[in-house]
Chain A
Amino acid sequence: GAVVSQHPSWVICKSGTSVKIECRSLDFQATTMFWYRQFPKQSLMLMATSNEGSKATYEQGVEKDKFLINHASLTLSTLTVTSAHPEDSSFYICSATNQGQGYGYTFGSGTRLTVV
């Protein structure tokens, strides 16, 4: 079945530094990828939607200059948290889909970001 690989699974960084999270579709072409943020014991909050080769569409309230999303190929999307602060600490999850493959969404395993 469809597999999405997300790396790293966890990362600790210092305040003010940037962190890049990768999301790769291993066995299908992901025409659309989604990035979510999840706080402890809460639901997933959509941050942005990205289509290959296009600029990401950010949800209201999400700072596009802080959360940089790149979807340069049909198998790779990246989320870069720039100038991270402790309040950016969270669980980030990507999801990928290809409309032509049975309309399914495949999720990555998530990245636990801790900013100290």
Chain B
Amino acid sequence: AQSVTQLGSHVSVSEGALVLLRCNYSSSVPPYLFWYVQYPNQGLQLLLKYTSAATLVKGINGFEAEFKKSETSFHLTKPSAHMSDAAEYFCAVSEPQGAQKLVFGQGTRLTINP
């Protein structure tokens, strides 16, 4: 079975500061990994995904994540936070074959302080 753990249900950073959202996964097979963002009362928007190609994945809005197999991690970073980054962020894992279901982490609420 696969699982995802997001460390920190709430992260607060100042505008312009580094954003680091942590995600660790558990999977018996090489996983596909995803980061999604959710704004209030909306669906999920894909930020980036890892599908066994380059371990450093660049996404939209200046976000990137690095797949580290030895640490079973897929942390999300952004060098400089913007007020518009305030939202809920979800890390998710799936098996690589076929249209497999996504297993989500608990989510991390990111707050940006002016």
Chain A interface residues toward B at CB < 8 A: 4, 6, 31-32, 34, 41-44, 46, 49, 51, 91, 93, 95, 97-99, 103-110, 112
* B35 located at the interface, meaning its Cβ lies under 8 Å from any Cβ of chain A in the complex: no
Asked if A44 meets B104 with Cβ closer than 8 Å, knowing A32-B99, A104-B49, A105-B46, the reply is: yes
Number of residue pairs spanning A and B whose beta carbons lie under 8 angstroms apart: 50
* Besides A49-B101, A107-B36, 9 new A-B residue pairs in contact (Cβ under 8 A), listed by A number: A6-B43, A43-B105, A51-B99, A103-B32, A105-B102, A107-B45, A109-B43, A110-B41, A110-B43
Do A91 and B102 touch across chains, with their CB atoms under 8 A apart? no
Task: Indicate the size class of the contact surface on chain B.
Answer: 20 to 34
- The 8 A CB mask of B75-113 against A (1 = contact, 0 = none) is 000000000000000100000001101111111010000
Considering only CB atoms, which chain A residue lies closest to B34 in the complex?
A105
Contact (Cβ within 8 A) B104 A91:
no
Q: How far is the CA of A91 from the CA of B42 in the complex (A)?
A: 9
Contacting residues, chain A, for B107 (C-beta < 8 A): 42-43
Contacts of A43 in B (CB 8 A): 90, 104-107
What B residues does A112 contact at CB under 8 A? Answer: 41
**Which of B42, B46, B104 lies in contact with A104, CB distance below 8 A?**
B46
B99, B103, B107 — most chain A CB neighbours (10 Å):
B99
